[in-house]
Amino acid sequence: MAERRLDKALCDWFADVEILDSTIGGLLREQAAAIGDSDALLEGLPDGTVGRRWTYAQLLADAERMAKGFATRFQPGERIAVWAPNVPEWVLVEYAAALAGLTLVTVNPSYQKRELAYVIEQSTSVALFLVKEFRGNPMAAIAAEAAEGLPALREVIDLQDPAALFTDPAGTLPEVDTNDPAQIQYTSGTTGFPKGVVLSHRNLTNNARLFIEVGDLPRGLGTLGLTPLFHTMGCSMGVLGALQSGGAYCPLLAFDPNAALDLIAAEKVSWTICVPTMAVAMVAAQKAQQRDLSSLQRMGIGGAMVAPELARAVQGVLGCSVLVAYGQTESSPLITSGRPDDAFEDIITTVGQPALGCEVGIFDPVTNEIVDCGVVGELFSRSASTMLGYNDNPEATAEAVDAQGWLHTGDLATMDERGYVKITGRVKDMIIRGGENLFPAEIENVLLEHPDVAECAVVGVPDDVLGEAVAAYVRLEDGAEFDPEALRSHCRSQISPQKCPAHWQQVEAWPLTGSGKIQKFKLRDDWVAANPA
C-alpha cells in the first residue's frame, strides 16, 4: 500500500476519531467500579520511596467525601485554586472539584504575592488550597498577605490539614456536563504575563485518552508524575492519562533524578512525561548508579526539541523509547505527537504528526493561506481539545481562535509531505535580520550538534544597522570550555553566514517558566539592559 502524501501543509488524517462526552468524575467512577482494587494514586517521596497508597475504590471514596464537603461550602461553577507542589492531595482536590461541579484553578507554587493575587483575582477564585511552605517559599504567609486585598476569597485551606480538607460530607453532588469548565490554567508566560485558559471536562479527558492511544502507552501499569501538576502535562496528560489507562499515578514531590529512577525501579513504572532537562539529569544519574529500569517502556518529552544525543541516551541508558510531543495549554495540551515506531531521524528533527483527533495546518502569517509542504508558516490546530476561551478576555479569545475554529498557536513550523511537523520558533521570536526572516530553532539545532553544547537558546537582539542580530546563549557540557570562535566555526560549516550568531553568551542556568521552558524574552531583556544603545 502506497504511503499517503500531502499536497499542501494541511493534515487531517488523524482527526476523524471518536470524541467521548466524558467527565473527570465520571471516568473515576467507571474505573473504581471496574478495577477498584488496583493501585490508583501513590505518594512519591523525595527519598525515592512511596508513602501513602490509594486503590481506585479508595480514591473515589476520598474524592466523593471531599466533594460532598465542597458542596456545602461552594456553589457549582465557582472557582477554587490549588497552590501546591506534586502532593497526592493536589490530585484529590482535582477529582473532588470535578465531582462537585467546581472549576479548578491551577497555581504555580513558586509564585510570589503579586503573581498569586493576580491569578486569584483574575479567576475570581473563592477558595485557595495550599501547603504552608515549599522550597523556601513561605506560601501560607504570602497567601495571608494577598488575601487582605481579595474580598472575594472566602477560604484559605491547608492541604495537609485533613480536618480542613474533609469537612461535613452532607452536600449533594450536582450533575456535571461534559462541556462544563473543569479547569483554568494560566499560560506559562514565555512572552509575557499569563492568561487564564478555560478547559472543559470534554477538552481534558479526550486529550489525555487520545494521548494514551497515540503513544500506545502500557495499560494498567504505573505512571511517574515528574512534570508540575499545575501544568497540563501533569494534571491532564499525567493524571487523566493514568486514569484512562487504568494505572497508578505517582506524583513526585519535587524532581530529583535519583528519586525518580528509584521509584521507576521499585514500582515498575512503565511510562512518564518530562521536559528535556529532566531527561538529561536522569540519564546522568543512571550512568552514575545503575538501576533495573526494565519496566520503563515510554518517555514522553515535550516543551523543547530533543537533541540527538539525548534521544540516543534515553534509548541506550534508560532503555525506553522516546515519544516527542508538542502542545499548548490552549489545546489541553497535545497538538502533535510522535509514534512508537517513528524513525530516529523523525524523533530528533520533528515533533511528530498531528495527535489523534487533531487537524493541523501551516498558514502564511501575512495572507492566512495554507502554505506548501516544507515552507515556514504559523501552526494552526483544530480539535475537540481546543479551549473554551481565555477567562474574562473575549478579545484575546477571538485573536487566538478564529471563526473556523482554528487555534492560532503563534508558533512557526513546517510540515512535510508525510504530515511530520518541525517547530522553527515563535512568530514573535522570529528574527528579522536585514529584512530576512531567520528562525531560531534551525540555529539551535545546529548548535546542539556541537559536543560541547548541552543546551542553547537563540534570540534576536537590537542592531543599529540590520535591525536585529542573532545572539546565542549556551550552557556547556561539564568540563567544556567556552570558545565562541569554535562555536561560530561550527555554525558556519552548517548554515549560511547571516544565520550564524553575532553575539555569544555562556549561561549556567536558564530563566524558566514553571513548566521548564526557557523564557527567551528575559534573555533578550537582559541583553538589552547590558548593552544600552
Q: What is the mean pLDDT of residues 453-468?
A: 87
pLDDT attached to residue 424: 81
pLDDT attached to residue 2: 59
pLDDT of 181 strictly over 60? yes
pLDDT band at 1 (very low <50, low <70, confident <90, very high): very low
pLDDT of 533 strictly over 70? no
CA torsion through residues 395, 400, 406, 407, sign: negative
Position of cell 482527526? 15
pLDDT attached to residue 110: 85
The three-state secondary structure class of 446 is: helix
pLDDT of 447 strictly over 90? yes
Rounded to an integer, what distance in angstroms lies between the CA atom of residue 76 and that of residue 101? 5
Contact 3, 341 (CB under 8 A): no
The residue with greater pLDDT, 191 or 284, is 284
pLDDT attached to residue 127: 98
Domains of the chain: 11-415 (3.40.50.12780), 435-530 (3.30.300.30)
- The string of DSSP letters for 348-402 reads HH---EEPTTEEEEEE-TTT-PBPBTT--EEEEEEETTS-SEETT-HHHHHHHB-
pLDDT attached to residue 275: 86
Residue 400 main-chain phi, psi, to 5 deg: -85, -35
CA torsion through residues 505, 509, 514, 516, sign: positive
Q: Which pLDDT tens digit goes with each residue over 53-66?
A: 999 999 999 999 99
Measured CA distances, 250 to 64, 120, 245, 286 (Å): 20, 28, 14, 20
Crossing angle for the helix pair 484-492 and 440-448, nearest 10 degrees? 110
pLDDT band at 435 (very low <50, low <70, confident <90, very high): low
pLDDT attached to residue 9: 98
User: Exposure string (b/e) for 32-48, b if CB count within 10 Å is 16 or more?
Assistant: beebeeebbbbbbbeeb
Q: Which pLDDT tens digit goes with each residue over 390-429?
A: 999 999 999 999 999 999 999 889 999 999 999 887 777 7
What DSSP state is assigned to residue 12? -
Lowest mean pLDDT among 75-79, 191-195, 343-347, 360-364: 191-195
Using a 10 angstrom Cβ sphere, with 0-12 exposed, 13-18 middle and 19 or more buried, the burial of residue 2 is exposed
pLDDT band at 188 (very low <50, low <70, confident <90, very high): low
pLDDT of 307 strictly over 90? no
Q: What is the mean pLDDT of residues 90-105?
A: 98
pLDDT attached to residue 304: 65
Q: What is the mean pLDDT of residues 9-19?
A: 97
pLDDT of 195 strictly over 50? yes
Rounded to an integer, what distance in angstroms lies between the CA atom of residue 388 and that of residue 399? 13
pLDDT band at 190 (very low <50, low <70, confident <90, very high): very low
Q: Which pLDDT tens digit goes with each residue over 310-347?
A: 999 999 999 999 999 999 999 999 999 999 999 999 99
Q: Which pLDDT tens digit goes with each residue over 362-387?
A: 999 888 999 999 999 999 999 999 99
The three-state secondary structure class of 453 is: strand
What nine digits make up the cell of 165?
A: 480538607
Instruction: Report the alpha-carbon angle 129-240-278, nearest 5.
Output: 80
CA torsion through residues 74, 77, 80, 85, sign: positive
What nine digits make up the cell of 400?
A: 487566538
The three-state secondary structure class of 119 is: helix
The residue with greater pLDDT, 427 or 388, is 388
Residue 516 main-chain phi, psi, to 5 deg: 90, 10
Q: What is the mean pLDDT of residues 162-188?
A: 94
pLDDT of 36 strictly over 80? yes
- The string of DSSP letters for 201-218 reads HHHHHHHHHHHHHHTTPP
Residue 154 main-chain phi, psi, to 5 deg: -90, -30
* Residue 357 falls in which region: left (phi positive, over 0), alpha (psi -120 to 50) or beta: left
- The string of DSSP letters for 455-469 reads EEEEEEEEETTTEEE
Strand order in the sheet with 377-383: 10-11, 358-363, 377-383, 407-415, 421-426
pLDDT band at 303 (very low <50, low <70, confident <90, very high): low
Mean of all residue pLDDT scores within the chain: 93
pLDDT band at 194 (very low <50, low <70, confident <90, very high): confident
